[in-house]
Amino acid sequence: MSIFEWSFVAAVLTSATPILFAALAGALCAQAGVFNIALEGQMLWGAFAAVAGSYYTGNAWAGVLVAVLSTAIYSVILAVGAARWKADPIIIAIGTNLLSLGLTGFLLRVLFDTSGSFAPQGLNGIGTMPFLKGIPVIGDVFAGQSVLVPLAFVLIVAAGLWLRLTPGGLRLRGVGEHPDAAATLGIGVARYQTWVTILGGGLCGLAGAQLSLGNVTLFTENMTAGRGWIAVAAVILVANKAFWLPVACLGFGAAEALGFRLQGIGAPQQLTDAAPYAITLVVLVIMRVVVTRRRTHALTPKETLV
Amino acid sequence: MSTAAVELRAISKRFDAVVANDGIDLVLARGTVHAVMGENGAGKSTLMSILFGLVRPDSGEIVVDGETRSFQSPLDAIAAGLGMVHQHFRLFDSMTVAENVVFGAEPTRGGRIDRAAAAERVRSLADRYGLDTDPQARVGDLSAGARQRVEILKALHRDARILILDEPTAVLTPSEVTSLFTVIRRAAEDGTTVVLVTHKIQEVLDVSTEVTVLRDGRVSGRFVTADTTSAELVRAMTGREVEIVANPGTGTLGDAVLEVEGVSVTDARVERVSNVSLSVRRGEIVGIAGVSGNGQHDLVAAILGTAPVSAGRIRLGDHDVTGATVAARRAAGLAVIPEDRRGEGSAVTMSITENLSLGHHRQPPIGRPKGFGRGWMSLVAARTRASEQISSYDIRTSGEKQPVGSLSGGNAQKVVIARELSFDAPLLIAEQPTQGVDVGAIEAIHGRLLDYRASGRGILLVSHEISELLALADRVLVMFAGEIVAEFDRSQASAERIGAAMAGAAAAAGEEWTA
- Residue A276: CB atoms within 10 Å: 24
Over residues B77-131, the pLDDT tens digits come to 999 999 999 888 899 998 999 999 999 889 999 889 999 999 999 999 999 888 8
Quick check: bond before A150 cis, omega within 30? Answer: no
| Residue of chain A with shortest Cα separation from B480 | A305
Given this model, what pLDDT does residue A112 score? 92
- ipTM score for this prediction: 0.80
Q: In angstroms, what CA-CA distances link A305 with A300, B210, B359, B363, B481? A: 9, 34, 36, 44, 8
pLDDT, tens digit, 9 for 90 and up, residues A30-73: 999 998 999 999 999 999 999 999 999 999 999 999 999 999 99
Nearest CA in chain A to B142: A304
d(CA B322, CA A94): 46
Helix, strand, coil percent content, chain B, rounded in steps of 5: 35, 25, 35
- Please tell me the distance from the alpha carbon of residue B97 to that of residue B146, in angstroms, as a whole number: 10
Contacts of A296 in chain B (CB under 8 A): 268-270
Q: What's residue A240's pLDDT? A: 62
Return d(Cα A33, Cα A38) in angstroms, integer.
14
Nearest to A166 among B113, B142, B271 (CB): B113
Say whether A167 and B91 touch across the interface (CB within 8 A): no
Per residue in B184-204, pLDDT (tens digit) is: 999 999 899 999 998 778 888
Whole-number pLDDT of residue B249: 67
In this structure, what DSSP letter does residue A214 have? I
Contacts with A4 (C-beta within 8 Å, 6 or more apart), sequence order: none
Q: Which long-range contacts (CB under 8 A, 24 or more apart) does A70-74 make?
A: A70/A45, A70/A46, A70/A205, A71/A42, A71/A45, A71/A46, A71/A201, A71/A202, A71/A204, A71/A205, A71/A208, A72/A198, A72/A199, A72/A201, A72/A202, A72/A205, A73/A201, A74/A42, A74/A45, A74/A100, A74/A201
Contact B90 A187 (CB under 8 A): no
Contact (Cβ atoms closer than 8 angstroms) between residue B249 and residue B490: yes
Q: To the nearest whole percent, how much of chain A has pLDDT over 70? A: 92
Contact B92 A181 (CB under 8 A): yes
Separation CA A52–CA A42 (nearest Å) = 15
CA-to-CA distance for A61 and A209, rounded, in angstroms? 9
In tens, the pLDDT along A166-213 reads 999 999 999 999 998 998 888 889 999 999 999 999 999 999 999 999
Q: Residues in chain B with pLDDT < 50?
A: 1, 506-515
Q: Among candidates A105, A115, A67, A109, which has minimal Cα distance to A214?
A: A67
CB contact under 8 A, A299 and B103: no
Q: Vertex B276, ends B316 and A303: CA angle to 5°?
A: 135
Gap between the terminal Cα atoms of chain B: 57
Q: Is B312 helix (H, G, I), strand (E, B) or coil?
A: strand
Task: Give pLDDT, residue A245.
Answer: 84
Angle CA B43–B338–B505, to nearest 5: 90
Is A290 an 8 Å CB contact of chain B?
Answer: no
In three-state secondary structure terms, B262 is strand
pLDDT, tens digit, for every residue of A115-153?
A: 889 999 888 888 888 888 888 888 888 888 899 999 999
User: Do strands B162-166 and B82-85 pair parallel, antiparallel, or not at all (unpaired)?
Assistant: parallel
**Which amino acid, residue A209?**
A
Q: How far apart are the first and last CA of chain A?
A: 60
Note whether A177 contacts B94, CB cutoff 8 Å. yes
pLDDT of residue B240: 64
CA distance A185 to chain B (A): 6
Query: Which are the contacts of A3, defined by CB distance < 8 A and separation ≥ 6?
Result: A258, A261
pTM: 0.74
Whether residue A274 has pLDDT greater than 60? yes
The reply to whether residue B112 touches residue A305, judged by beta carbons under 8 angstroms, is no
Say yes or no for a CB contact (<8 Å) between A304 and B294: no
Chain B residues near residue A301 by CB distance under 8 angstroms:
270-272, 293, 295, 481-482
Q: What are phi and psi of B422, to 5 degrees?
A: -75, 0
Rounded to an integer, what distance in angstroms lies between the CA atom of residue B445 and that of residue B442? 5
Q: How confident is the model at residue A246 (pLDDT cuts 50, 70, 90)?
A: confident
Max Cα–Cα distance, chain B, nearest Å = 81
Query: For B55, what's the count of Cα atoms within 13 Å in the CB-facing half-sphere?
Result: 20
- CB contact at 8 A, B300 and B329: no
C-alpha Rg value of chain A to the nearest Å: 20
- Give the nearest partner residue to B103 out of A174, A296, A297, using CB atoms: A174
Which chain A residues contact residue B73 at CB under 8 A?
186
Question: Given CB atoms, is A241 within the 8 Å cutoff of chain B?
Answer: no
CA distance B478 to chain A (A): 15
- CB A173 to CB B482 under 8 A? no
More confident residue, A284 or B142: B142
Task: From B212, B203, B425, B252, select the one nearest B333 (Cα to Cα).
Answer: B425
Q: For B139, which DSSP code?
A: G
Query: CA-nearest residue of chain A to B154?
Result: A185
Q: What residues have CB less than 8 Å from B505, skipping those under 6 apart?
A: none
Could you tell me which chain B residue has the CA closest to the CA of A188? Answer: B104
Domain ranges in chain A are: 6-225
pLDDT at residue A294 tops 60: no
Q: Which residues of A11-41 are buried (b: 16+ CB within 10 A; e: fewer)?
A: bbbbbbbbbbbbbbbbbbbbbbbbbbbbbbb
Work out the minimum CA distance from B134 to partner chain A, whole angstroms: 12
Contact in structure between B235 and B241 (CB atoms under 8 Å): yes
Distance between A79 CA and the closest CA of chain B, angstroms: 23
Range list of H helices, B62-114: 74-79, 97-102
C-alpha R_g of chain B: 25
User: CA B353, CA A15: separation in Å to the nearest integer?
Assistant: 59
Q: What mean pLDDT is reported for chain A?
A: 87
**Chain A residues touching residue B172 (CB < 8 angstroms):** none
Structural domains in chain B plus CATH codes: 4-238 (3.40.50.300), 256-340+424-512 (3.40.50.300)
Kind and range of the H or E element at A107?
Answer: helix A89-112
% helix, strand, coil for chain A, step of 5: 75, 0, 25
